Structures are given as structure tokens and as C-alpha cells.
Amino acid sequence: MAFDPFDSRRSVPETAAAPLLGPAAVCRFDMPGTPLKLEEAIERGLCNNPKTRQTWASIKVQAAAVGAARATYLPSINASAQAVHDEAVTDVSGRPDLSSQNHALVQSQTISLSWVLFDFGGREAALHNAQELLAAAQANHDALLQTVFAAVAKDYYTAQGAQGALAAALDIERSANESFVAATGRVERGAAPVSDALQAQTAYAQATIGRTRAEGNLQSTLGVLAVDLGLRPDARLILPAVTEGVTADKDFLRSVSELMEEAERTSPNVQQARAQLRASQAKTDQVRAEGLPSVSVVAKAGHNNQRASQGLGLPQYPATGRDWSVGVQVNVPLFEGLSRSYQVRQAEAQSELQRATLDQVRQQVALDVWTGYHDLQTATQSVINNSRLLKLAEASRAATEERYVAGVGSIVELLSAQSALAEAKNQHLRALTDWRISRLQLAEKLGTLGMWLVYP
């Protein structure tokens, strides 16, 4: 692990899923549970999704950038060492006594220090910029976790609904077969025309086709869910019955204005846009400060073994040299080719862009909450209405079957009641799935998704 004196890792979650699921999300998995619970599916999806790992890595990048910005408040120290083979030959024409030839290995060591004491807020602005970019990265990661949470839950509920639809199709097929057997028995006793048996057989064949279609749809939705969890599409997944899980309630049926105000506070998208705006404003301050003077302490110390000589032609003698200096250095930018003013204008324009982006995000979040609120209201009422319809259809089917077996009713009435029951079952399953998905989507827009939403 790299040296981290500023403890930048404190800002980085332990795992990609930790900000939403807490420290318990260790992101280590065995085989999927049997049956696969929604909470396990969500944890697998959050941990294994490549996008969540990307935004998690972005937090690490920005946390390291904050550490680098803090490091500018410390002095910089540089050391250098040099070893040079020095060969000096001097030939003086006509005066060989003044000629010389010297060989030496010259070594020198130097250490220097520079410490910025004052720079009109440049380092502070750079640190503020890095901190706000870190906050933006964290908010972006939170927003993505909410999106992935909702996507996995949606695919889970869709697969669970498809599994329920298959169970309903099997039940419908069984009922159609019973109707066919009953019609055949009446035909054989001469109590009904052969057309009754043919119509019942046709309904039975249609129910078989519907069951086959439901089987294919279930396998498709399970494949999508498996990929969400980081598994192969052909992974074997077993889900609980569609009746298990949360049921329709009115948790979110509050004032829509209240919900939109809550989204202003809790939505990670809004928080990210705010942090990016503050970062751009800090960047503007940093660019301005970089064009102002700075005051630094500078120091230098050196050591060498450069040989010394008394004069031309005289032998060189071993010697040791030392030097040191300390002082204050003032850097004053006088002219930068007018680039500084354009850099400031560029930074100000970037802040203006981020401010407009924040307004756009606020408007979009408000619209999403408005739409999600009314979608959930519609879905809640739909569940209630379809529950009533299903009970009526079941009672109608039972009564009609009794009438037909008793020889009072017609095959048309029986098949009509059977068809109405099949449609009522499918509508009830779709309504329940749509309600669960609408509930999660509204929570996502509010930025309040959590495991509390997946329990009954």
C-alpha cells in the first residue's frame, strides 16, 4: 500500500457498493442463493457492474488529487549527487615546466529546499477545487449506484413477474384441459354437441401456446438478470414466488411539492452538479492567484572534492569545498503574453456553464419526481383494481364451470369465463410488477434508494 500521510483513503469507500449498502457489502460471492433473494441480487449487481467500479476508481483518483493539493503546503527538498572522471592536460609551448597533466574523480553533492510561504490563495483555491471534484465524484458514484440498484431490481421484478406469468399459464393450461375433458364427457354422453369439445380443445391448444411463450419469456428475463449480476446468461437462477416481497402501500403518496423539495436536497445528481459548480468557481480563484506574486524560502547546501592548484603548471592537491545559502525569494509575474486574462475568462465561462448545468439538473429532477409520483399513484390504484378484478374473475370461472358440469351453462360461457380469468391473472401480475418498479424509480429520483425498499 502506497504511503498516505494525508489519509486520502478515508474518502474512498471500502467497496464499490459500500456507499449504498454499508460496510457489510464485502463484494465476495459464492454460488447464487436458492432461491435468489432480491437483496443478494442487488448486492451482486452493485459490486460486479463495470460502471460502478469505474466511478469507484474515479473517487480514488480525486482523493489522491486532494492529497496532492495538500502536499503543496509542504516544502520541496531535492538532492543531487555527481561523480565525474576529470582529466586535464595542459601543454605550454616552449615551457614544458609549465605543462601539466592531472587525473581526478570529482564528486559533488547538493541539497536544496524551496518552501512557498505566501501565494495570494493559489494553493487554497487549488485544494478547494480538488475537494469539490472529490465531492462531485462521490455524488456521481452515489447516483450511479442508485441507477444500478433500480435497474437490477427492475430486471429482478420483471423476471419474477415472468415466472409468475408462467405459473399462471400452467394453471390456465390445466383449467383448459379440465374444460376439454368435461366437454368431451358431455359429448360422449350425448348431452352436448361435438362443437363443444372442439371449442374446448381449441382453447386448450391456445393455452398450451401461451404456456410455451411464457417459458421462453422467463428464460430471456432470467438471462438479462444473470448478466446484471456478473454471471453468464445461462446461469441457473431460481427466484421466489411473485407473491413474495413488498406489496402495494402508500409510502410515497405525499405532496408532490414536498417530494420535489426533498429531491433538491437528496438527489445525487443535484449534489454532483453543485459540487462541480463550486469546483469551477475555485478553479477561477486558482487561475487568478497564479498570476500574482509568491514568496518562498530557499536554501541550498553543497559539498565537493574538486582538487585545487596554486597556478598554471603547478600540481593539483586534494581539497574539499563546501557552500550553503538561505534566503527569501519573491516571484512576480510581469508579463505572460496576455494569456492569464484569457485563462481567467475561460475559467469564468466554465463556472457559467456549470451554473446552467445545475439549473438543468434541478429541472430534470423535478420533472422526474413529478412523473414518477403520478406513475406510482396510477400503479397503486391499478394493483387495487386488478386485485378486485381477479377475485371476480375467479368466482365467475368457478360458477360457470359448475353450471356447465351441471348441464345448465354453455361451453361459450365457460370458455369466456376462462379467458377472462387468464387475462385478469396476467393483468394482476403486470400491475404488481409495475407498482414495484414505479416505487423503486421514484425512490431513485429522490436519491433515497436503500435495502429498506426490498423488504415486505
Q: What is the pLDDT of residues 378-415, one digit of tens each?
A: 998 999 999 999 999 999 989 998 888 888 888 889 89
Q: Is the pLDDT of residue 251 over 70?
A: no
- How confident is the model over 71-98, as a mean pLDDT? 82
How far the first Cα of the chain sits from its last, in Å, is 43
Sign of dihedral through CA atoms 40, 218, 394, 435?
positive
- Please check whether residue 139 is in contact with residue 122, taking contact to mean a CB–CB distance below 8 angstroms: no
Burial of 221 (0-12, 13-18, 19+ CB in 10 A): buried
* Domain annotation for the chain: domains and CATH numbers: 8-21+30-74+119-291+342-453 (1.20.1600.10), 77-117+293-332 (no CATH)
| Cell numbers at 80, concatenated | 543531487
| Cell numbers at 429, concatenated | 401480475
Q: What local confidence, expressed as pLDDT, does residue 252 receive?
A: 52
Contacts for 123 with CB less than 8 Å, ≥ 6 apart = 69, 72, 73, 116
Nearest-angstrom CA–CA distance, 306 and 84:
10
C-alpha 58, offset from chain centre:
10
Q: Is the pLDDT of residue 48 over 80?
A: yes
Q: What local confidence, expressed as pLDDT, does residue 5 receive?
A: 87
Q: What local confidence, expressed as pLDDT, does residue 320 receive?
A: 83
Nearest-angstrom CA–CA distance, 267 and 164:
34
**Cis amide prior to 456 (ω within 30 degrees):** no
Total residues found in the chain within this entry: 456
Nearest-angstrom CA–CA distance, 397 and 166:
20
Element (H, E) at 83: strand 76-90
Answer whether 0.85 is exceeded by the pTM.
no
Cα–Cα distances (Å) from 376 to 160, 232, 248, in that order, read 19, 33, 10
- Please check whether residue 431 is in contact with residue 386, taking contact to mean a CB–CB distance below 8 angstroms: yes
Sheet holding 294-304, edge to edge: 76-90, 100-118, 294-304, 321-331
C-alpha 435, offset from chain centre:
24
Out of 203-207, 244-248, 345-349, pick the least confident.
244-248
Q: What is the pLDDT of residues 305-353, one digit of tens each?
A: 877 766 655 667 777 888 888 999 999 988 888 898 999 999 999 999 9
Q: What local confidence, expressed as pLDDT, does residue 453 receive?
A: 65
Contacts for 91 with CB less than 8 Å, ≥ 6 apart = 99
Least Cα distance to 132 among 447, 445, 351 occurs for: 351
Q: What local confidence, expressed as pLDDT, does residue 311 receive?
A: 61
Q: Cell numbers 406489496 label which residue? A: 247
Q: How many Cα atoms are found within 13 Å in the side-chain-facing hemisphere of 14?
A: 10
Q: Is the pLDDT of residue 354 over 80?
A: yes
- How confident is the model over 352-358, as a mean pLDDT? 95
| Cell numbers at 245, concatenated | 416481497
Share of the chain above pLDDT 90, in %: 56
Q: What is the pLDDT of residues 1-18, one digit of tens each?
A: 567 888 888 999 999 999
Q: What local confidence, expressed as pLDDT, does residue 2 receive?
A: 67
Q: What is the pLDDT of residues 105-153, one digit of tens each?
A: 878 899 999 999 998 889 999 999 999 999 999 999 999 999 999 999 9
